[in-house]
Chain A
Amino acid sequence: AQSVTQLDSHVSVSEGTPVLLRCNYSSSYSPSLFWYVQHPNKGLQLLLKYTSAATLVKGINGFEAEFKKSETSFHLTKPSAHMSDAAEYFCVVVSGGSYIPTFGRGTSLIVHP
Protein backbone atom coordinates (compact mmCIF):
# COMPACT_ATOMS: atom_id res chain seq x y z
CA ALA A 1 0.00 0.00 0.00
CA GLN A 2 1.12 3.55 -0.61
CA SER A 3 -0.11 6.99 0.30
CA VAL A 4 1.10 10.56 0.32
CA THR A 5 0.17 13.50 2.52
CA GLN A 6 0.87 17.09 1.60
CA LEU A 7 0.85 18.86 4.91
CA ASP A 8 -0.28 22.29 3.69
CA SER A 9 -3.10 23.03 1.29
CA HIS A 10 -1.83 26.60 0.81
CA VAL A 11 1.57 28.23 1.31
CA SER A 12 2.01 31.98 1.00
CA VAL A 13 5.45 33.60 0.60
CA SER A 14 6.89 36.90 -0.51
CA GLU A 15 8.93 37.12 -3.67
CA GLY A 16 12.61 36.51 -2.90
CA THR A 17 11.98 34.46 0.26
CA PRO A 18 12.48 30.69 0.63
CA VAL A 19 9.83 28.16 -0.29
CA LEU A 20 9.07 24.96 1.64
CA LEU A 21 6.33 22.58 0.52
CA ARG A 22 5.99 19.55 2.77
CA CYS A 23 5.25 15.98 1.73
CA ASN A 24 5.16 12.78 3.79
CA TYR A 25 4.70 9.36 2.20
CA SER A 26 3.92 5.80 3.11
CA SER A 27 5.11 2.89 1.01
CA SER A 28 5.45 -0.86 1.49
CA TYR A 29 8.45 -1.09 -0.78
CA SER A 30 11.24 1.17 -1.96
CA PRO A 31 9.40 4.16 -3.36
CA SER A 32 9.97 6.49 -6.22
CA LEU A 33 8.86 10.02 -5.41
CA PHE A 34 8.00 12.88 -7.70
CA TRP A 35 6.99 16.51 -7.55
CA TYR A 36 4.82 17.95 -10.31
CA VAL A 37 3.76 21.54 -10.89
CA GLN A 38 0.53 22.74 -12.45
CA HIS A 39 0.15 26.33 -13.55
CA PRO A 40 -3.40 27.69 -13.88
CA ASN A 41 -5.41 26.00 -16.61
CA LYS A 42 -2.45 23.88 -17.66
CA GLY A 43 -1.43 20.25 -17.50
CA LEU A 44 1.08 18.89 -15.00
CA GLN A 45 4.81 19.15 -15.53
CA LEU A 46 7.52 17.11 -13.82
CA LEU A 47 9.69 19.17 -11.46
CA LEU A 48 11.94 16.43 -10.15
CA LYS A 49 12.07 12.79 -9.12
CA TYR A 50 13.80 10.60 -6.55
CA THR A 51 14.71 7.08 -7.60
CA SER A 52 17.05 5.73 -4.88
CA ALA A 53 20.21 7.40 -6.14
CA ALA A 54 21.18 10.69 -4.45
CA THR A 55 18.89 11.69 -1.59
CA LEU A 56 19.09 15.36 -2.56
CA VAL A 57 17.44 15.81 -5.91
CA LYS A 58 17.68 18.92 -8.06
CA GLY A 59 14.90 19.82 -10.43
CA ILE A 60 13.94 22.51 -12.85
CA ASN A 61 13.57 26.21 -12.06
CA GLY A 62 15.82 26.06 -8.98
CA PHE A 63 13.69 23.60 -7.00
CA GLU A 64 15.15 20.72 -5.04
CA ALA A 65 13.89 18.04 -2.68
CA GLU A 66 15.50 15.83 -0.06
CA PHE A 67 14.48 12.24 0.52
CA LYS A 68 14.57 11.37 4.24
CA LYS A 69 13.75 7.72 4.80
CA SER A 70 13.78 7.98 8.59
CA GLU A 71 11.16 10.73 8.46
CA THR A 72 9.32 9.34 5.38
CA SER A 73 9.45 12.82 3.93
CA PHE A 74 10.22 14.38 0.56
CA HIS A 75 9.91 18.13 1.08
CA LEU A 76 10.27 20.54 -1.84
CA THR A 77 12.35 23.70 -1.40
CA LYS A 78 13.57 26.70 -3.33
CA PRO A 79 15.92 29.35 -1.92
CA SER A 80 14.17 32.34 -3.45
CA ALA A 81 10.59 32.47 -4.71
CA HIS A 82 9.69 34.10 -8.00
CA MET A 83 6.28 35.34 -9.04
CA SER A 84 6.23 32.72 -11.79
CA ASP A 85 6.42 29.96 -9.14
CA ALA A 86 2.80 30.61 -8.17
CA ALA A 87 1.08 27.33 -9.02
CA GLU A 88 -0.29 24.08 -7.62
CA TYR A 89 2.30 21.50 -6.58
CA PHE A 90 1.69 17.78 -6.27
CA CYS A 91 3.76 15.16 -4.46
CA VAL A 92 3.47 11.66 -5.95
CA VAL A 93 4.62 8.23 -4.75
CA VAL A 94 5.03 4.97 -6.65
CA SER A 95 6.01 1.83 -4.78
CA GLY A 96 8.44 -0.65 -6.22
CA GLY A 97 6.65 -3.07 -8.52
CA SER A 98 3.60 -0.84 -8.95
CA TYR A 99 2.40 0.88 -12.08
CA ILE A 100 0.13 3.20 -10.18
CA PRO A 101 1.22 6.63 -8.97
CA THR A 102 -0.64 8.03 -5.97
CA PHE A 103 -1.08 11.78 -5.76
CA GLY A 104 -1.21 14.06 -2.77
CA ARG A 105 -4.05 16.58 -2.63
CA GLY A 106 -1.80 19.40 -3.74
CA THR A 107 -0.35 22.57 -2.25
CA SER A 108 -1.20 25.93 -3.72
CA LEU A 109 1.83 28.23 -3.66
CA ILE A 110 0.97 31.92 -3.52
CA VAL A 111 3.75 34.42 -4.14
CA HIS A 112 3.28 38.02 -3.06
CA PRO A 113 5.22 40.90 -4.65
Chain B
Amino acid sequence: NAGVTQTPKFQVLKTGQSMTLQCAQDMNHNSMYWYRQDPGMGLRLIYYSASEGTTDKGEVPNGYNVSRLNKREFSLRLESAAPSQTSVYFCASSDAVSSYNSPLHFGNGTRLTVT
Protein backbone atom coordinates (compact mmCIF):
# COMPACT_ATOMS: atom_id res chain seq x y z
CA ASN B 1 0.00 0.00 0.00
CA ALA B 2 1.72 3.17 -1.21
CA GLY B 3 -0.70 5.66 0.42
CA VAL B 4 0.70 9.17 -0.09
CA THR B 5 3.97 9.45 -1.98
CA GLN B 6 6.07 12.62 -2.00
CA THR B 7 9.12 13.41 -4.06
CA PRO B 8 11.86 14.39 -3.57
CA LYS B 9 12.76 13.48 0.03
CA PHE B 10 15.53 16.06 0.26
CA GLN B 11 16.36 19.18 -1.74
CA VAL B 12 18.83 22.02 -1.46
CA LEU B 13 18.15 25.18 -3.44
CA LYS B 14 19.90 28.47 -3.86
CA THR B 15 17.92 31.66 -3.28
CA GLY B 16 15.91 32.49 -6.38
CA GLN B 17 15.81 28.99 -7.80
CA SER B 18 12.51 27.26 -8.50
CA MET B 19 11.28 23.76 -7.89
CA THR B 20 8.15 21.63 -7.75
CA LEU B 21 7.31 19.19 -5.00
CA GLN B 22 5.26 16.27 -6.22
CA CYS B 23 2.57 14.40 -4.31
CA ALA B 24 0.39 11.48 -5.34
CA GLN B 25 -2.16 9.41 -3.42
CA ASP B 26 -3.72 6.10 -4.35
CA MET B 27 -6.60 6.06 -1.84
CA ASN B 28 -9.14 7.78 -4.10
CA HIS B 29 -9.37 10.69 -1.66
CA ASN B 30 -11.09 13.88 -2.73
CA SER B 31 -9.11 16.35 -0.62
CA MET B 32 -5.38 17.04 -0.65
CA TYR B 33 -3.24 19.43 1.39
CA TRP B 34 0.22 20.91 1.58
CA TYR B 35 1.64 21.76 5.01
CA ARG B 36 4.95 23.10 6.16
CA GLN B 37 6.45 22.15 9.50
CA ASP B 38 8.80 24.43 11.38
CA PRO B 39 10.16 23.92 14.91
CA GLY B 40 7.66 25.03 17.55
CA MET B 41 5.05 26.01 14.95
CA GLY B 42 3.23 22.74 14.38
CA LEU B 43 1.97 22.19 10.85
CA ARG B 44 0.74 25.21 8.93
CA LEU B 45 -1.46 24.86 5.90
CA ILE B 46 -0.06 26.32 2.69
CA TYR B 47 -2.73 25.35 0.16
CA TYR B 48 -5.44 22.76 -0.07
CA SER B 49 -7.67 21.24 -2.70
CA ALA B 50 -11.07 20.21 -1.39
CA SER B 51 -11.80 18.29 -4.57
CA GLU B 52 -10.43 17.82 -8.07
CA GLY B 53 -10.48 21.10 -9.97
CA THR B 54 -10.41 23.39 -6.91
CA THR B 55 -7.57 24.90 -4.92
CA ASP B 56 -7.59 27.40 -2.06
CA LYS B 57 -5.10 29.30 0.04
CA GLY B 58 -4.33 28.20 3.53
CA GLU B 59 -2.64 30.03 6.37
CA VAL B 60 0.76 30.65 4.71
CA PRO B 61 0.36 30.71 0.89
CA ASN B 62 2.79 33.51 -0.02
CA GLY B 63 5.62 32.38 -2.27
CA TYR B 64 3.89 29.16 -3.33
CA ASN B 65 1.60 27.93 -6.08
CA VAL B 66 -0.21 24.63 -6.46
CA SER B 67 -1.73 22.50 -9.18
CA ARG B 68 -4.31 19.77 -8.70
CA LEU B 69 -3.32 17.84 -11.80
CA ASN B 70 -5.98 15.15 -11.36
CA LYS B 71 -7.64 13.37 -8.47
CA ARG B 72 -4.40 11.59 -7.53
CA GLU B 73 -1.82 14.34 -7.84
CA PHE B 74 -1.28 17.69 -6.11
CA SER B 75 1.97 19.58 -6.70
CA LEU B 76 3.50 22.52 -4.86
CA ARG B 77 5.72 25.00 -6.69
CA LEU B 78 8.22 27.47 -5.33
CA GLU B 79 8.80 30.02 -8.09
CA SER B 80 11.68 31.88 -6.45
CA ALA B 81 12.93 30.18 -3.33
CA ALA B 82 13.83 32.20 -0.25
CA PRO B 83 15.68 31.15 2.92
CA SER B 84 12.41 31.60 4.86
CA GLN B 85 11.05 28.65 2.89
CA THR B 86 13.54 26.30 4.47
CA SER B 87 11.25 23.79 6.09
CA VAL B 88 9.85 20.28 6.02
CA TYR B 89 6.91 19.98 3.65
CA PHE B 90 4.17 17.42 4.05
CA CYS B 91 1.49 16.42 1.62
CA ALA B 92 -1.68 14.85 3.00
CA SER B 93 -4.97 13.54 1.68
CA SER B 94 -8.36 12.77 3.16
CA ASP B 95 -11.95 12.06 2.24
CA ALA B 96 -13.07 15.32 3.89
CA VAL B 97 -15.63 16.18 1.21
CA SER B 98 -17.53 13.00 2.01
CA SER B 99 -16.90 13.10 5.74
CA TYR B 100 -15.37 16.02 7.61
CA ASN B 101 -14.13 13.64 10.29
CA SER B 102 -12.08 11.66 7.81
CA PRO B 103 -8.48 11.59 9.08
CA LEU B 104 -5.48 12.88 7.15
CA HIS B 105 -3.02 10.49 5.57
CA PHE B 106 0.48 11.89 5.29
CA GLY B 107 3.45 11.42 3.05
CA ASN B 108 6.91 11.08 4.55
CA GLY B 109 7.84 14.69 3.89
CA THR B 110 10.33 16.70 1.84
CA ARG B 111 13.17 18.36 3.70
CA LEU B 112 13.99 21.59 1.83
CA THR B 113 16.94 23.86 2.52
CA VAL B 114 17.30 27.20 0.77
CA THR B 115 20.74 28.80 1.00
Is B truly associated with A?
yes
* Residues on A facing B (Cβ under 8 Å): 9, 32, 34, 36, 42-46, 49, 51-52, 90, 92, 94-101, 103-106
* Cβ-based interface call for B48 (8 A): yes
Rounded to whole Å, the gap between the CB of B57 and the closest CB of chain A is 11
Q: Let me know if B103 and A43 touch, CB within 8 A.
A: no
Q: Let me know if B101 and A94 touch, CB within 8 A.
A: yes
Q: Let me know if B101 and A103 touch, CB within 8 A.
A: no
CB within 8 Å of A: which of B45-86? 45, 48, 50, 58
Q: Let me know if B104 and A99 touch, CB within 8 A.
A: no
Q: Let me know if B104 and A105 touch, CB within 8 A.
A: no
Known A43-B106, A43-B108, A100-B58; judge A32-B42 contact (CB<8 A). Answer: no
Q: Let me know if B43 and A9 touch, CB within 8 A.
A: no
